[in-house]
Amino acid sequence: MAIIYAISDIHGYLLPLEEALALVDLESDKENKLICCGDYIDYSPGSYGTLYKIKQLAENYPNQVIVLMGNNEQMFLEFLNAKERDIWHVEWLGSDKDFATVNSFSSVSTREKISQLKSEKGYHDLLFRISRMIKEDILKNHSELVKWVRGLPHYYETELQIFVHAGIDEEAEDIGGMELQRRFS
C-alpha cells in the first residue's frame, strides 16, 4: 500500500530536512509520494541549499515528489518582481533577520559590495540600493531556480485529500476549477 509523506515549513533548515528525508522511502514502492507543502526558505542561512535540495528531489522523483508553493516562496517572488522603489523591498528585507535568506542566495562579491555601501540619503534609500543589488544577483545567478519556483502550484489533490500550505478558504466557490462544497459535502 502506497504511503504519502508530507512536509512543510522547513524555513531553510537543511540538516533537519535531510534527517526527515532519511525516513522517507521513495525507492521500495514507486507509488509512495512526498508532498512538500511550502515554506522551504526564510529565517536561515540554509535557505538556498534547502530550496535547491527540494528541487533536486522533484527532478529525481518526478512522479513521486510534489512541491507546492508556500507563502515565503511567494514573498520571495514578490521581492524579486517588485518595482525599483516599491516598499516591498524594504519590508521583506527588514523581516529577513541578518539578511540570512538573501545572503544564502547572494554571491560573495555582492555581499562585499553591500558591506561597503554608505547611507547617503537615509536608511530606506540604503535598503532600496541593497535590495536592487541582491535582486540582480539572484536573478543573474539563480535564474533556473527562480523559474522553477515561479512554476510551483499552490495545491495538490488526490482522490481523498487536498494538500496546501496554509489552508483553503471554505467560502470560495471555485478553486482551480474544483467546486469544494459540491465535492466534499
Cα–Cα distances (Å) from 66 to 26, 34, 41, 77, 183, in that order, read 12, 6, 17, 19, 22
Number of compact structural domains in the chain: 1
Q: Please report, for the chain, how many H helices and E strands are present, in that order.
A: 9, 5
Q: Is the pLDDT of residue 120 over 90?
A: no
The Cα–Cα gap between 58 and 137 comes to 25
Q: Which residues pair with 175 in a beta bridge?
A: 178
Question: Pairing between strand 162-164 and 155-157?
Answer: antiparallel
For the segment 63-94, what is each residue's pLDDT rounded down to a tens digit? 999 999 999 999 899 889 988 777 766 677 77
Tell the residue number behind the cell numbers 502550484, with chain if given.
153
Expressed as residue numbers, the domain containing 168 is 4-173
What is the grid cell recorded at 12?
A: 531553510
Give pLDDT, residue 15. Answer: 95
Tell me, yes or no, whether 180 lies in a domain. no
Q: Is residue 128 part of a domain?
A: yes
Question: Which of 10, 107, 93 has the alpha carbon at shortest distance from 50?
Answer: 10
Which DSSP state fits 97?
G
pLDDT digits (tens, 9 = 90+) for 24-71: 999 999 999 999 999 999 888 999 999 999 999 999 999 999 999 999
Question: Is residue 184 domain-resident?
Answer: no
Percent of the chain with pLDDT over 70: 88
Separation of alpha carbons 185 and 170, rounded Å = 11
Residue 120 domain-assigned?
yes
The answer to whether residue 173 scores a pLDDT higher than 60 is: no
| Distance separating alpha carbons of residues 65 and 37, to the nearest angstrom | 11
> Does 151 fall in a domain?
yes
Query: Is 26 part of a structural domain of the chain?
Result: yes
Predicted TM-score (pTM) of this structure = 0.85
Q: Has residue 69 been placed in a domain?
A: yes
Q: For residue 181, tell me if it sits in a domain.
A: no
pLDDT at 124: 77
CB 43 within 8 A of CB 78: no
Mean pLDDT of 117-140: 86
